Amino acid sequence: MPKKSSRRRKPVASHKSRRKAAPSKRKRPARRKPLTGWRRFVNWRTILLGGFVLTVAWVIYLDVVIRVQFEGKRWALPAQVFGRPLELYAGATLSSQSFREELEQLGYRYAYRVSEPGTFSQSGGEFRLYSRAFHFWDGDAPARLMDVQFDDGMVQTVQDVKDGSELDIVRLEPLRVGGIYPSHREDRVLVKLEDVPPLLPKGLVAVEDRDFYLHHGVAPRAIARAMMANLKAGATVQGGSTMTQQLVKNFFLSNKRSLWRKGNEAIMAVLLEWHYDKDEILQAYLNEIYLGQEKSRAIHGFGLASHYYFDRPLQKLTLPQIATLIALVRGPSYYDPLRHPERLRKRRNLILDIMAEQAVITRDEANQAKTSGLGIARGRAGDTHYPAFMELVRRQLQRDYRKEDLTSEGLRIFTTFDPRVQQASEQALRRRTQLLDMQRGLQGQLQGAVVVTDTTSGEVLAVVGDRQPRYAGFNRALDAQRQIGSLIKPAVYLTALEQSDKYTLATSLNDSPISMKGPEGTIWSPKNYDDKSHGTVPLYSALVHSYNQATVRLGMDLGFERIADTLQRLGAEREIPPYPSMLLGAIGFTPYEVTGLYQTLASGGFHTPLRVIREVMTVDGEHLRRFPLEVEQTVDPAHVAVLVSALHEVTKTGTARSLQHHLPVGLTVAGKTGTTNDQRDSWFAGFSGEHLAVVWLGRDDNQPTGLTGSSGALTVWADIMGHIPTRPLPAPVTDKVAYYWIDQSSGLLSEAKCEGAINLAFIEGTAPQEHSACRESQTDSGSWFKNLFNR
Amino acid sequence: MMHRKLVGITLLLLAGCSVSPPQPEGQQGFEVEPVAADQPQIRPSPQTSKAALALLAKARQAANEGRLSVAEAQLERALRIEPQNAVLWHYMAKLRLHQGQLSQAAGLAAKSNSLDQGNQELQANNWRIIAQARYQKGDKSGAEAAQRHAEQLLE
């Protein structure tokens, strides 16, 4: 994308068309050689009058153009994006430490005397808290003085201090996650003139436009001065444009220089000065001026530039940093801090000298500042710590809301963002990728992505799109479409289990080698990961140990169409290719899409579209459309329960058994590992009773990483689940399903006491009838498993 | 007791939501028994937390004032606290039916049933919601089947 957006291009285009039309009309009559009578009639007075009328019309046109631009920019408040509010109630799973962290994140101050909103005190597990008032879309939450007691990782009581009454449920104000402009792809951090460090506007005026407060938009003296300087030097060394002219130029960014253009800019500058006062123009300048380019994204305005170059808000910049930004005004690419640091440093020092000359700063201050380095710390180009999540918010807004609604300013967007889950996900991904990267000698090439949702509601709690989560670059969670490998297997096995008269978890499958003709006559013979064939195996075992040969055989028996249909019912929107390799996941999905598929399994067969926006409010508190929780049963919950009992076994005795060392005791989970050819992709998708998390690790250049699903992504997943309070898998309650002890190797009915017995679910009446050798007379169907779940 | 009082209040929740659908043309043959006020209201189970009950009370108030999206949001809050509570899902299904969101009503009623542990009355009421949703969508035989399900449960 060029530096300017198409939105801005439009007025330029209309310029051009007029530019061609207008002068020709004026000049043509003079050049022609018409009849003599005509010549007398069309005298110079008429030409003058015509020219005058045209000029006036032209100026009026320019006036409209520039005012529309200026007004459009001036009040453009970003939409405020909020996370989920923390709900406090007796029984809420929340440790006192997490609570304190959340309070600090919300900007609550620790105080000995809690006497005003936004303060708290803590003594062990007891908090006194003065909450801030907040206007939720569905009602006001007043500021409230309360005592909150924690014990055993839970909220015990919430009490109103005033009257001692117990509060059933209290919502704290949500965390502001960031600001976005939902209707376009451009981020800005708008600043108000009174909020910026005074040195910035003073320095700008000193360097760019000394007569700013005196002129009326153009400064003939400055132009003359610049022309002289340029003549002397034999090149353009000085510009004569006022800041007002520069602002106009930025509105219609174009690199073309022409006299016609300059003339128009000058007229518009005068018009701007006529309509608006100096401070308004200066503020617009601060927010509009072009200061850099990050790939496709133009960095406009000092607010955003400050984050981009120094990773801190404008208010916190030092003198040399302010001077550096002023230096960039003249040519962000010519003075690019990365490519031409020396050039930029020189110009910064020149700026400091000018500031001292103009008595904006003292000579000493200038000299002192000149000794410091540039201190560039590339930060996030945007007003948020969570660029990956914000990108999802932006996309869902654009998908679900009308454009007219989104252009209204100062929207308040309430999202499902959970700061604690996000933090756990970021930390887990960062820590594990660093570690794995080092162990495998990947030289910083290992990348990853995480999506975490609530299993019931499909609400997206956290999104990480880069191992450096603050970096607003390629969002792998949403955009990295990678082969999913064995993550597809649950869909294959579910397709089988749905034919419960034909397939159960104990049905025998054939895991012997298989070859088939692929497209273009090639022979395809998939191998098992351990390169062995396992003969006849029970169905559950083929899934739990992720046997490829058995899966392909099963899939060929079931047929591609049936499996594609299952995938679609789980929520896949992509076309499923009817190739055998599809059965082993040779099909690309993004981590976000995979999350959608597993969501249906995690919520027991109910397809729940992933949701990131709860409500949107206008700046006046008016409530825009709401997108409620949606559920649609697309798979029989009984069949899902059977599948989940096997996916739980994956995490106990299967490919993800290492989870047993990672997770807290009693936290039962279900999941599946995924590894693709040559270990290019490492996946883990799994869920507890409350959270679903999907993790992908791999390289952007799609080279091998040496990681399997369990040696890579699983470790990140385990760290996340181990660090957030979550509930174990719920016990399935459907009457259609019963649990039986099954002998691992034979798939025959066994007994809890028997070695190698595992507990699996069967649709009522389909459990194996034959007994294993070990099984004793009495049956104790499933009580252990149910107890485990009911804990 | 405060607790008991709250349960009492929530009994009335969404009572106003029970509707008899207008009979679509040409579907006179089979009449679905409406989820009417004379059907027993489903109570929240005694294990329901105070927080969820408080939210139910808020939802009821909002529903009575006609602010259905607020009611809906309170129910969603309650569900976040107790995602396995079949009765909450049932209320949600009723609300959706009242809002005329038929597929959603049926989906939520099915979800409620998938979580219920042996409360026949609740299950029957959920099947009635499904019957109504199907009926209003013009799926006559589907509605009949759902209705039979409901009746069998109460036999």
Question: Does the beta-carbon distance from B81 to A87 stay under 8 Å?
Answer: yes
Set of chain A residues whose Cβ sits within 8 Å of the Cβ of B74? 138
Interface test with A, best of B82, B90, B111 (most A CBs within 10 A): B111
Same domain, residue pair A123 and A66: no
Radius of gyration for the alpha carbons in chain B, expressed in angstroms and rounded: 15
Whole-number pLDDT of residue A747: 85
- Residue A584 tokens read as 């082993």
- A223 confidence band (pLDDT: 50, 70, 90): confident
Q: What is the CATH number of the domain that holds B133?
A: 1.25.40.10
Chain Cα centroid distance, residue A746? 48
Of B54, B104, B117, which has the smallest distance from its Cβ to A733's Cβ? B117
> Domain limits at B117?
85-155
Min Cα separation B29/chain A (Å) = 28
CB atoms within 10 A of CB A394: 22
Question: Does the beta-carbon distance from B80 to A455 stay under 8 Å?
Answer: no
Q: Is residue B21 part of a domain?
A: no
Candidates A486, A546, A710, A711; catalytic one: A486
Query: What phi-psi label fits residue A295: left (phi over 0), alpha (psi between -120 and 50 degrees) or beta?
Result: left
Domain finish residue from A25, A42, A74 = A74
Contact A731, A528 (CB under 8 A): no
Among all residues of chain B, which has the CA nearest to that of A138?
B70
Same domain, residue pair B69 and B116: no
At which residue do the structure tokens 């200061």 appear?
A291
Domain finish residue from A127, A157, A173 = A173
Q: Is residue A759 part of a domain?
A: yes
Backbone angles phi, psi at A510, to 5 degrees: -100, 120
Q: Is residue B65 part of a domain?
A: yes
DSSP readout, A576-591? PP--GGGGGT-SEE-H
- B25 confidence band (pLDDT: 50, 70, 90): very low
Same domain, residue pair B108 and B155: yes
Question: Does the beta-carbon distance from B104 to A630 stay under 8 Å?
Answer: yes
Among all residues of chain A, which has the CA nearest to that of B72?
A628
Q: Is residue A316 part of a domain?
A: no
Question: Does the beta-carbon distance from A626 to B69 stay under 8 Å?
Answer: yes
Q: Select the more confidently predicted residue: A736 or A238.
A: A736
Whole-number pLDDT of residue A252: 74
Give dist(CA A298, CA A304) in Å, integer. Answer: 10
Same domain, residue pair B123 and B155: yes
Model pLDDT for residues A635-684, shown as the tens digit of each residue: 999 999 999 999 999 999 999 999 999 999 889 999 999 999 889 999 99
Same domain, residue pair B130 and B154: yes
Same domain, residue pair B135 and B149: yes
Among all residues of chain B, which has the CA nearest to that of A631?
B107
Of A138, A606, A733, which has the smallest distance from its Cβ to B70's Cβ? A138
Contact A158, A88 (CB under 8 A): yes
Model pLDDT for residues A39-56, shown as the tens digit of each residue: 666 688 888 899 999 999
Say yes or no: A455 contacts chain B, CB-CB below 8 A: yes
Interface test with A, best of B70, B75, B77, B80 (most A CBs within 10 A): B80
Candidates A173, A183, A208, A645; catalytic one: A208
Among all residues of chain B, which has the CA nearest to that of A734?
B114
Same domain, residue pair B78 and B130: no
- How many residue contacts between A and B have a Cβ separation below 8 Å? 82
- Residues from B contacting A (CB-CB < 8 Å) are 49-51, 53-55, 62, 67, 69-70, 72-74, 76-77, 79-81, 83-84, 92, 103-104, 107-108, 110-111, 114-117
The CA-based angle A19-A23-A24, given to 5 degrees, is 110
- A783 confidence band (pLDDT: 50, 70, 90): very low
Model pLDDT for residues A538-570, shown as the tens digit of each residue: 999 999 999 999 999 999 999 999 999 999 999
Q: Please state which of the ranges A482-491, A500-509, A700-709, B31-40 shows the lowest mean pLDDT.
A: B31-40
Q: Select the more confidently predicted residue: A195 or A24.
A: A195
Q: Is residue B31 part of a domain?
A: no
Contact A103, A406 (CB under 8 A): no
Same domain, residue pair B58 and B119: no
Handedness of CA A256, A257, A261, A266 (dihedral sign): positive
Q: Is residue B39 part of a domain?
A: no
Question: Does the beta-carbon distance from A605 to B77 stay under 8 Å?
Answer: no
Q: Is residue B100 part of a domain?
A: yes
Helix and strand numbers, DSSP H then E, in chain B: 7, 0
Among all residues of chain A, which has the CA nearest to that of B70?
A138
pLDDT at A19 over 90: no
Question: Does the beta-carbon distance from B110 to A606 stay under 8 Å?
Answer: yes
Q: Is residue B29 part of a domain?
A: no
Q: In chain A, which among 55-94 make CB contacts under 8 A with chain B?
A: 87, 89-92
Say yes or no: A457 contacts chain B, CB-CB below 8 A: yes
Same domain, residue pair B129 and B152: yes
Question: Does the beta-carbon distance from B49 to A614 stay under 8 Å?
Answer: no
Min Cα separation A455/chain B (Å) = 9
Whole-number pLDDT of residue A184: 59
Domain finish residue from B83, B109, B138 = B83
Q: Is residue A238 part of a domain?
A: no
Among all residues of chain B, which has the CA nearest to that of A167?
B51
Q: Is A603 tagged catalytic?
A: no
Same domain, residue pair B62 and B126: no
CB atoms within 10 A of CB A60: 11
Same domain, residue pair B89 and B154: yes
Residues facing residue A732 across a β-bridge: none
Q: Is A776 tagged catalytic?
A: no
Q: Is residue A628 part of a domain?
A: no
Q: Is residue A688 part of a domain?
A: no
Same domain, residue pair A93 and A166: yes
Question: Does the beta-carbon distance from B107 to A632 stay under 8 Å?
Answer: yes
pLDDT at A5 over 80: no
Domain finish residue from A142, A173, A204 = A173
Same domain, residue pair B114 and B62: no
Contact B113, B126 (CB under 8 A): yes
B1-15 average pLDDT score: 41
Q: Is residue A536 part of a domain?
A: no
Of A138, A633, A734, which has the smallest distance from its Cβ to B73's Cβ? A138
Whole-number pLDDT of residue A325: 95
Give the total number of structural domains in chain A: 3
Q: Is residue B11 part of a domain?
A: no
DSSP readout, A629-672? ---EE-S-HHHHHHHHHHHHHHTTTSTTTTHHHHSPTT---EEE
Q: Please state which of the ranges A293-302, B4-13, B49-58, B120-129 shows the lowest mean pLDDT.
A: B4-13
Give the total number of structural domains in chain B: 2
Model pLDDT for residues A364-394, shown as the tens digit of each residue: 999 999 999 888 876 655 567 798 999 999 8
- A90 confidence band (pLDDT: 50, 70, 90): very high
Q: Please state which of the ranges A606-615, B39-48, B133-142 shows the lowest mean pLDDT.
A: B39-48
Contact A611, A629 (CB under 8 A): yes
Same domain, residue pair B115 and B140: yes
Say yes or no: A456 contacts chain B, CB-CB below 8 A: yes
Model pLDDT for residues A403-455, shown as the tens digit of each residue: 777 766 778 999 999 999 999 999 999 999 999 999 999 988 999 999 999 99
Say yes or no: A138 contacts chain B, CB-CB below 8 A: yes
Interface test with B, best of A622, A631, A734 (most B CBs within 10 A): A631
> Domain limits at A162?
85-173
Whole-number pLDDT of residue B136: 92
Q: Percentage helix, strand, coil, to 5, in chain B?
A: 65, 0, 35
pLDDT at A622 over 90: no
Q: Is residue B62 part of a domain?
A: yes
